[in-house]
Amino acid sequence: MSEFEEPLKGFRGKVKLFPLPNLVLFPHVVQPLHIFEPRYRQMVRDCLTDDRYLAMALVATRSGLGFFGDPPLHPVICVGKIFKEEQLPDGRYNLLLHGAARARIIDELEPCGKQYRTAQVEILEDIPPASQQTSTELRKSLGRIMTQWFSPQPDAVLQLRKLLKSELPLGTLCDVFSFALPIEIEVKQELLELVDVEERARHLIEEIRKLEQPEPLPIPPTGRRKFPPDFSLN
């Protein structure tokens, strides 16, 4: 099995934290990262020699200082696994991080000589809809509103329909769309915190209704259009 089929293989419940004020990672998606701060270079070095897991955490910007004088974090985070890395000559890193699972911070741990933050976490599992009928209806509703939203971009609609016809479960589709769509960051965090898939789907549908439709893409010289938000699960 690949690491994507067993995304938490080897995970021991303790994770290195990468706080950011403007990014929410979701399970099932891939996020490129450029690491340049010394403390996060140290974090990545330790990740690569350990279990390769780190967690993206959204900074709670409206609060004061939290653990050990650091900015507080939203307690629900996304544990990701580094599956590809490049170390640059000056010590910076380029990474591809695969979202593995939702998790909740149980306890933030003492730094123990490290410049970065670590926490003990519990993994959060999806709660599926109450019935297959509910799941099917929500999938259709999500498909309709996504197709309508992307209607100015026919190539995007074609790729969207492939996703909707795939065997990906409803919760995974919601995560992929929540990550890729231009939704406000605090709303993305709300969607990350929803382990009930039915609630997540309904909340996402409501948020898509608030979005302005994208502009039609210019046709490049090859005559092909690029699908704007990257829905690839890699």
Question: Any idea what the Cα angle at residue 98 is, between residues 129 and 109, rounded to 5°?
Answer: 90
Q: DSSP state, 67?
A: G
**How many domains is the chain partitioned into structurally?**
2
Here the tokens at position 175 are 């995560």
**Of 69, 93, 124, which closes a domain?**
124
| Residue 81 domain flag | yes
Residue 10: phi and psi, rounded to 5, are 85, 0
Same domain, 86 and 25: yes
| Residue 38 domain flag | yes
Burial class (CB in 10 A: 0-12, 13-18, 19+), 12: exposed
pLDDT mean over 166-194: 96
User: For residues 72 and 70, what is the distance between their CA atoms, to the nearest angstrom?
Assistant: 6
| Residue 206 domain flag | yes
pLDDT of residue 216: 73
| Residue 225 domain flag | no
C-alpha separations of 11 from 89, 103, 123 in Å: 30, 12, 10
| Residue 231 domain flag | no
pLDDT of residue 62: 62
| Residue 19 domain flag | yes
pLDDT mean over 168-196: 96
| Residue 176 domain flag | yes
Same domain, 98 and 141: no
Same domain, 114 and 142: no
Same domain, 18 and 113: yes
pLDDT of residue 67: 47
User: Is 36 a residue whose pLDDT tops 60?
Assistant: yes
Here the tokens at position 56 are 């993206």
Sorted by sequence, the CB contacts under 8 Å of residue 37 that are 6+ apart come out as none
Q: What would the pLDDT profile of 47-64 be if each residue is shown by its tens digit? A: 999 999 999 999 997 654
Same domain, 90 and 147: no
| Cβ proximity of 120 and 13 under 8 Å | yes
pLDDT of residue 217: 56
- Count of CB atoms within 10 A of residue 91's CB? 13
pLDDT of residue 157: 87
Q: What would the pLDDT profile of 82-125 be if each residue is shown by its tens digit? A: 999 999 999 999 999 999 999 999 999 988 889 999 999 999 99
**Of 71, 97, 124, which closes a domain?**
124
Residue 76: phi and psi, rounded to 5, are -90, 125
Same domain, 65 and 138: no
Residue 61: give its domain's CATH number. Answer: 2.30.130.40
pLDDT of residue 111: 83
pLDDT of residue 112: 86
Provide DSSP, 143-207.
Answer: HHHHHHHTTT-HHHHHHHHHHHHSS--HHHHHHHHHHHS---HHHHHHHHH--BHHHHHHHHHHH
pLDDT of residue 70: 82
Confidence of residue 5 (pLDDT cuts 50, 70, 90): low
Sorted by sequence, the CB contacts under 8 Å of residue 166 that are 6+ apart come out as none
Confidence of residue 154 (pLDDT cuts 50, 70, 90): confident
pLDDT of residue 49: 96
Q: DSSP state, 40?
A: H
Same domain, 21 and 115: yes
| Residue 229 domain flag | no
Q: Which of 103, 7, 22 minimizes the C-alpha distance to 58?
A: 22
Q: Which domain holds residue 104?
A: 14-124
User: Is 172 a residue whose pLDDT tops 70?
Assistant: yes
